[in-house]
Amino acid sequence: MGDNVTLVRDGALATVTLNRPDRRNSLSDAMLTELGAAFGELRDDAATRVVIVTGAPPVFSAGADAPLSSKMTPDERRRAFAQRKSQFRRLFERANTLLENLEQPTIAMINGHAIGGGWGLTLACDFRWAATEAEFWIPEVDLGVPLGVASTTRFVRLVGPIAPQRGAGLRRAPGRQALRAARRGQGAAQRRRAHGHPRGQRNDGGLSRPWLRRG
């Protein structure tokens, strides 16, 4: 596909890999453009039956590509994030929408940290399978910048409104903790549906499954 994304087919299986390991697979405009092209190509590929999305080791994705450093103060990080020149939101949602609407089952193989936009990318897949060492968090909370509306909606739709209200997935969470939060949210949503509560309804034909599995 290009320098930032690889698309490898093996029979009926296609694997899309975020391939910027030197930048922790951060989502630059160029990478998001290539992701959109890869998902667009798979949309019209009748020979592909399953799509896997993963990251080049050691992480899944560090999220939006921004000139941040661990040495920066919180205020410096917020300013750097706000001042970067990027089409991230437009390109990110375009790629996510293409991924979410693929007819093939899609699986996020989360082989390490999934941060911010990387976490959002996993939500557009049908299934998420996380390595034991995987961690999830959203730096937008600490940076004080808006989180994409579509990612928020996908998360609430998957786990129900209880877990997000408690902050699950917003602060740094190891894979085991995220899995427990997902199961609590799913249980609450199932109980609401059993009692006919409108906020317990889903858009998946009544199917219910944990948003995250750990391997």
| pLDDT over 90, % of the chain | 45
Q: At what angle do helices 29-43 and 88-100 cross, to 10 degrees?
A: 20
Predicted local confidence at residue 202, as pLDDT:
37
Residue pair 173/138 in contact (Cβ under 8 Å)? The answer is no
Residue 56 has pLDDT above 90, yes or no: yes
Please give the mean pLDDT across all residues of the chain. Answer: 78
- In the block, tokens 């790629």 appear at 95
Please give the residue that has the higher pLDDT: either 48 or 66. 48
C-alpha dist (Å) from residue 112 to 33, 96, 122, 144, 206: 23, 20, 12, 25, 31
pTM of the model: 0.73
Domain 5-214 has CATH 2.30.33.40: no
The residue with tokens 């699986």 is: 107
Mean pLDDT of 154-179: 60
DSSP-assigned letters across all residues of the chain: --SSEEEEEETTEEEEEE--GGGTT-B-HHHHHHHHHHHHHHHT-TT--EEEEEESTT-SB--B-----TTS-HHHHHHHHHH----HHHHHHHHHHHHHT-SS-EEEEE-S-EETHHHHHHHTSSEEEE-TT-EEE-THHHHT-PPPHHHHHHHHHHH-SHHHHTTTTTS-EEHHHHHHHHHHHHHHHHHHHHTT-GGG--SSTT----S-EE-
CA 52 to each of CA 17, 86, 146, 190: distance values in angstroms, whole numbers, following the listed order: 8, 27, 28, 28
- Among 12-16, 39-43, 159-163, name the one with the lowest average pLDDT: 159-163
- Structure-token pair, residue 103: 């007819």
Mean pLDDT of 28-41: 96
What's the pLDDT score for residue 155? 79
pLDDT tens string 88-112: 888 999 999 999 999 999 999 999 9
Which residue has better confidence, 124 or 2? 124
What pLDDT, in 10s, does the model give residues 11-22? 999 999 999 999
Q: For the chain, what are the domain ranges?
A: 5-214
- Residue-level pLDDT at 43: 96
Question: In the structure, what pLDDT confidence band is assigned to residue 87 with cuts at 50, 70 and 90?
Answer: confident
